[in-house]
Amino acid sequence: MHHIYKRGDERTKETLLLLHGTGGDENDLLPLADMIDPMANVLSVRGNVDENGMNRFFRRLSEGVFDEEDLIFRTKELYDFIDEASVKYGFDRSHVVAVGYSNGANIAASLLYHYERPLRAAALHHPMVPRSGIDLPDMSGLPVFIGAGENDPICPPEQTEKLNKDLTKQGAAVELFWEQQGHQLSRGEVDRATLWYKSEVSGVDPS
């Protein structure tokens, strides 16, 4: 997959996996990584699906309706890519923290729905429920931040609540942050995600 890898400070274990929104690319979320953890390694990936010239991480049938077969295929593709990148670049596979926005948050959530411990933690900005009606893996203690907009027309509040419920039921430690806004990624939300990261991820050694 097209990507950027930036090696961080030697003393840090964390690698931030950046996943852009529809129509974005691997450059979009680089400033976020600088805000959340300027010491971390960064693996920023471009989605492999082209929707009328817009990059995405998986196909959709219409707005908010996902192509499940492609979602499963692309989730595995990303999962395998993270494994391969960890070998190539020598980062710790067990310390990968996803930071995703919109379509990127949805594929990060899909990793959590389909694999056991695919990530050390996840910051999901404006995510939706990736799949329904499947058994989900154990997520005991997994730190997840969800940033949501009360007036988000693309990720309506019911989706956010359902995602929160699914993850919490599997044992994830979810921090849900609402802003009075729509689908855009706000500075306030990123600041809260940064605080969450400092208290739940970089300051805590899971081993």
Residues marked active site are found at 102, 152, 183
Cβ contact 148:174 at 8 Å: no
Q: Which amino acid is at 179?
A: E
- Residue 5: what are its φ and ψ, rounded to 5°? -120, 130
Tell which residue, 70, 193, 205, 53, has the closest CA to residue 141: 205
- Looking only at residues 29 through 68 of this chain, which bind ligand MLT when binding is defined by CB under 6 A? 60, 63-64
Q: Is 75 in the site for ligand MLT (CB under 6 A)?
A: no
Stretch that binds ligand MLT, among 9-17, 102-110, 138-146, 168-176 (CB under 6 A): 102-110
Q: Which is nearer to ligand MLT, 54 or 173 (CB)?
A: 54
Among 41, 44, 86, 102, binds ligand MLT (CB under 6 A): 102
* Nearest alpha carbon to residue 16 among 48, 49, 47, 38: 38
Q: Which is nearer to ligand MLT, 75 or 102 (CB)?
A: 102
- How many residues make contact with ligand MLT (CB under 6 A)? 10
Task: Tell me the sheet residues that pair with 98.
Answer: 17, 122
In sequence order, which residues have a C-beta less than 8 Å from that of residue 61 and are 6 or more positions away?
67
Task: State the CB neighbour count (10 A cutoff) for residue 203.
Answer: 8
> Considering beta carbons, is residue 57 or 145 the nearer one to ligand MLT?
57
Nearer to ligand MLT, 106 or 164 (CB): 106
Per CB under 6 A, residues contacting ligand MLT are: 21-22, 60, 63-64, 102-103, 106, 128, 154
